Amino acid sequence: MTTTVAVLGSTGSIGTQALDVVRGEPDRYRVAALGAWSSVELLADQAREFRPEVVALGDPARAGELRALVPSATEVVAGQDALTSVAGHADVVLNAVVGFAGLPITLATLEAGHRLALANKESLIAGGPVVQRARAGGGGEIVPVDSEHCALHQCLRAGGDHEVARLVLTASGGPFRGRSGADLAEVTVDDALAHPTWSMGPKITVDSSTLMNKGLEVIEAHELFAVAYDRIEVVVHPQSVVHSMVEFSDGATLAQLSLPDMRLPIAYALAWPERSGIPFGAIDWARLARLDFEAPDADAFPCLGLAYEAGRAGGSAPAWLNAANEVAVDAFLAGRIPWSLIAEVLKSALAEHDGTPLDDVEAVIEVDRRARELTTKIVERSVTA
């Protein structure tokens, strides 16, 4: 039976890899909808190849240009809410939109009772309480696309909730693994962007270097699987082959292993509750020499602890921290603050979190705005100090 798929954020890295997955099993999937913000040419190429019922474009000024390029039978919708409007057009909605623009898509998919293949971090980090209400009320389900959470999702199939002792998220350790706080005082932007395993954008690569990316994933894991923060741990694993683990009540630990390939978690989310027929990330065990693990250095990488602090505070604290982190990382990438000051800026910003409840999307946006405004002022004070 063919599964219909909506790929929203189809012109980005996750979206284009999702279409690779569809190409690999054309009898299994049919693309019902595609969506992007402004990449008209690539979106039109995708529409001509997959011939969806509808394509959504966030930029209304380019709608006419897109209509002239797509097949005549394909409907074009455009505007700020266009991508959200097509969330009900498929059995599975892949939300690969970056930033807050992805939150309404998440909510619409869950409220419609569809399966959400989630690659949009902001949905759970910033909008967790709002998403949980939509998840409970609409009957939709979330299957995570992030490699670590996909690994946990797979391992959790082995036991009931009451049998889970702890979740163990693995981290590559980033480019500064093994270095002390003193060693990190003079690192450059180029140093922070030299990730040893993954090829990612500048912001997420810097987050990996501070371990904030792993901290945000801890918050995501709590929201996805309803496991207390005291039972979510992080371990550094430089090979990035073990993507995460679950320890059960009897002491058994199950791990998901594969070579780094984002098409595996994408394919898993599209095929759930079955599995893909294509062996993305398959391991040649005769060539896998070793697997190393070590505890993260909390003193050298305090951002991980700040994420736990925000997660335990709950409510709007994760949204506040997420916004503050984006401002601090932007300042570092622009050369305005040193790498070592990112954590100090975040600590100061989190200390001024005011506990505003998140009742709806508008509240999430307002908390984000105020946190960014505050953090910008903290950065300015740091620059002039």
What does the pLDDT look like over 8-50, one tens digit per residue?
999 999 999 999 999 999 999 999 999 999 999 999 999 999 9
pLDDT band at 257 (very low <50, low <70, confident <90, very high): very high
pLDDT > 80? residue 121: yes
- What per-residue confidence (pLDDT) applies to 24? 96
Domains along the sequence of the chain with CATH:
3-144 (3.40.50.720), 147-309 (no CATH), 314-385 (1.10.1740.10)
Percent of the chain exceeding pLDDT 70 equals: 99
Q: What is the pLDDT of residues 309-318, one digit of tens each?
A: 999 999 999 9
Res 343: pLDDT? 96
Rounded Cα distance between 378 and 28, Å, is 52
Confidence class for position 226, pLDDT limits 50, 70, 90: very high
Closest CA to 293 of 240, 246, 252, 253: 240
Is pLDDT at 271 greater than 70 in this prediction?
Answer: yes
Each residue of 64-83: pLDDT tens digit? 999 999 999 999 999 999 99
Residue 99: pLDDT band (50, 70, 90) is confident
Residue 310: per-residue pLDDT = 98
pLDDT at 193 over 90: no
When pLDDT is cut at 50, 70 and 90, the band that residue 199 belongs to is low
Instruction: Give the range among 10-24, 190-204, 321-335, 356-370 with minimum mean pLDDT.
Output: 190-204
Q: Look at residue 288 in the predicted model and tell me its pLDDT.
A: 92
Residue 201: is its pLDDT beyond 80?
Answer: no
pLDDT at 262: 94
Q: Is the pLDDT reported for residue 198 higher than 70?
A: no
pTM of the model: 0.93
What is the pLDDT at residue 186?
86
The pLDDT mean for the chain works out to 94
Calpha distance 206→323 (Å, rounded): 15
Residue type at 383 in one-letter notation = V
In eight-state DSSP terms, residue 140 is -
User: Do 18 and 94 contact (CB within 8 A), yes or no?
Assistant: yes
Helix segments in the chain, DSSP class H:
13-24, 40-50, 63-67, 82-85, 103-111, 121-125, 128-138, 147-155, 189-192, 202-210, 212-225, 263-271, 303-313, 317-333, 342-351, 361-384
> Residue 203: pLDDT above 90?
no
Q: Give the dihedral sign, CA 48/50/52/56.
A: negative
Residue 383, pLDDT > 90, answer no
Q: Left (φ > 0), alpha (ψ -120 to 50) or beta: where does 324 sit? A: alpha
Mean pLDDT along residues 77-102: 92
Q: Alpha-carbon distance 374 to 350, whole Å? A: 10
pLDDT band at 305 (very low <50, low <70, confident <90, very high): very high
Q: For residue 202, what pLDDT band results from cuts at 50, 70 and 90?
A: confident
- Has residue 195 got a pLDDT over 90? no
| pLDDT confidence bin for 216, thresholds 50/70/90 | very high
